[in-house]
Amino acid sequence: MKQILVKECGGPEKMELVEVAKPAPGPGQVLVKLASIGVNFIDIYFRIGLYKAPAPVSLGMEGAGVVEAVGEGVEGVKTGDRVAYCMVRGSYAEYAVVPAAQIVVLPAALDFQSASAAMLQGMTAHYLTHSTYALKPGDTCLVHAAAGGTGGLITQMAKMRGARVIGTASTREKAALAKASGADEVILYTECEFDQEVKRLTGGRGVDVVYDSVGASTFMRSLDSLKPRGMMVTFGNASGAVPAIEPLLLNQKGSLYLTRPALAHYATTREELLARANDVLGWVASGKLKLRIGRTYPLAHVAQAHIDLAGRATTGKLLLIPG
């Protein structure tokens, strides 16, 4: 089968399409023939070595397809099932071996592209808006990169929960997409000091919570956008990793709360994973949650997908199609 491997961390050109033996599922695992593969920023972190894995590094954390074989002791999933999964590395391939505990059987109404677009970013938006800081009517949140894959879903879920959403985006075109996802206001954060604009939009108060996936370039101004005792959720590094800070800074900026969450810690049991996945996939199947698939690429063109994502040239979700 064909698979993308990184023998040495670095630029997009380090991703090689190689021929490897088709894997077999071990006990508790299933073999999925992938029909659609989600591209996520975390794949870039593993490719460049910001997140560590032993070489050669397999990439891709999300996929959807058909179960081709099941290992010993697997229950609840069978050969021929249409499934999706995320947070298991190695989906940039024609086949993937996945722990059955991570597999979600798809509703009949859901196609593979939608499923592979919804799992990782959808469950992330779900835990951020429902658990890390459970938004409620009357809350105001700041969502960075609100035209991006994750940002667009956070925006929609925040609106479902009755919150006011102030989004950020780098261009007018992206701002219009963030508005279409439900953002009440959108700040062009490449053209102004966004914390001052947030203060203006909130009558000087600041927001209850910031969902910050941009990282290094926005972190400090995000802290300055919060109300006293507000919650700073730094959950990504699109512009680079946030450097160390002194805890005293949180005191000086208003007794702020700071968390750096990951999806894996918000899907720690099979029940928790299924509860989030069933919400997200159910909302997509019913049309309550809209996916925007920005672009699809053949698996062999993965380098271009990474160049586009890292270059801020994308909106919504990117997918790779094997075969």
Binding site for ligand NDP (CB under 6 A): 40-42, 120-121, 124, 145, 147-151, 169-170, 174, 213-214, 217, 235-239, 261-263, 309-310, 312, 314
> Shortest approach of ligand NDP to residue 127 CB, angstroms?
7
> Shortest approach of ligand NDP to residue 106 CB, angstroms?
20
Residue closer to ligand NDP, measured from CB, 95 or 189 = 189
Residue closer to ligand NDP, measured from CB, 30 or 120 = 120
Residue closer to ligand NDP, measured from CB, 20 or 310 = 310
Residue closer to ligand NDP, measured from CB, 41 or 283 = 41
285-289 CB contacts, 8 Å cutoff, 24+ apart: 285/107, 285/109, 285/110, 288/160, 289/118, 289/122, 289/153, 289/156, 289/157
Nearest to 170 by CA among 217, 232, 233: 217
Contacts of 69 (CB under 8 A, 6+ apart): 24, 25, 30, 31, 79
> Shortest approach of ligand NDP to residue 174 CB, angstroms?
5
Phi and psi angles of residue 6, each rounded to the nearest 5 degrees, phi first: -115, 110
Measure Cα distances from 266 to 24, 260, 261 in Å. Answer: 29, 12, 8
The single-letter code of the amino acid at 163 is: A
Residue closer to ligand NDP, measured from CB, 74 or 158 = 158
Burial bucket for residue 147 (CB in 10 Å: 0-12, 13-18, 19+): buried
Residue closer to ligand NDP, measured from CB, 55 or 262 = 262
Residue closer to ligand NDP, measured from CB, 239 or 304 = 239
> Shortest approach of ligand NDP to residue 323 CB, angstroms?
23
Residue closer to ligand NDP, measured from CB, 190 or 196 = 190
> Shortest approach of ligand NDP to residue 167 CB, angstroms?
9
Phi and psi angles of residue 102, each rounded to the nearest 5 degrees, phi first: -95, -5
> Shortest approach of ligand NDP to residue 25 CB, angstroms?
26
Residue 293: strand pairing partners? 317
- Cα–Cα distance between 302 and 17 in angstroms, integer? 9
Is residue 10 within 8 A of residue 48, CB to CB? The reply is: yes
Assigned token pair, 144:
């960075």
- Cα–Cα distance between 180 and 319 in angstroms, integer? 21
> Shortest approach of ligand NDP to residue 197 CB, angstroms?
15
Residue closer to ligand NDP, measured from CB, 205 or 292 = 292
Burial bucket for residue 205 (CB in 10 Å: 0-12, 13-18, 19+): middle
> Shortest approach of ligand NDP to residue 319 CB, angstroms?
12
> Shortest approach of ligand NDP to residue 114 CB, angstroms?
16
